[in-house]
Amino acid sequence: MRHRKAGVHLSRTSAHRKALFSNLVAALLTNERIRTTDAKAKETRRLAERTITWARRVGDVLTKKPDRRSTEESARVVHAVRMARRVVRDRGAVLKLFDEIAPRFEGRRGGYTRIVKLGQRPGDAAPMSLLELLPDEGGASSAPAETPDKGGAGKAAKPAADKGTAAKGEGKAAKGEGKAPAKAKAEKKAAAPQEKGAKSSKK
């Protein structure tokens, strides 16, 4: 029985497993998106969300300059950084966590990541997933704002197309006008023998 033994073994020793998940969480914080197996993605999400929560809890203190923080606030930040460093050994990833990622999720309580299933990996048919941080809500809302501009450009292009069709129509009309005199000449030639026959019958 595995009472009170959370997590997965993944056929690795404890040291290897800790190093693996430390690197995966660091890669997720650095690149904001990683592709791995389902089992690793689920375990990495558990550790990553705990780490992000440590940084989010001191988000109000991070907005202040270091020299403006009280002793208690500075102690809170140091404690949060140390707790994050227990999981993430990469210093650059920790700096990005506290500078960029924590302010993004300041008003969010959990659920900072999402897993997208990608199917099976060729070779061993292992189920693969894409683990990524949720995008910034401000950036997501600005994306649809660009859509009307594209639609407007499409509408602006329509009059140009109409002009092209109008030009084609004028060209056809000009060709039709060119054909009209030819038709009139042919009708005159056809009518000429009939008039000659009518004159001869009068004589």
- Domains of the chain with bracketed CATH: 14-134 (3.90.1030.10)
Question: Quick count: other Cβ atoms within 10 Å of Cβ 25?
Answer: 29
Region of poorest pLDDT, from 43-52, 79-88, 132-141, 168-177 = 168-177
pLDDT, greater one: 140 or 180: 180
Question: Residue 154: which pLDDT band, with cuts at 50, 70 and 90?
Answer: very low
Quick one: pLDDT at residue 176?
52
This prediction has a pTM of 0.65
- CA dist 144 and 142 (Å) reads 6
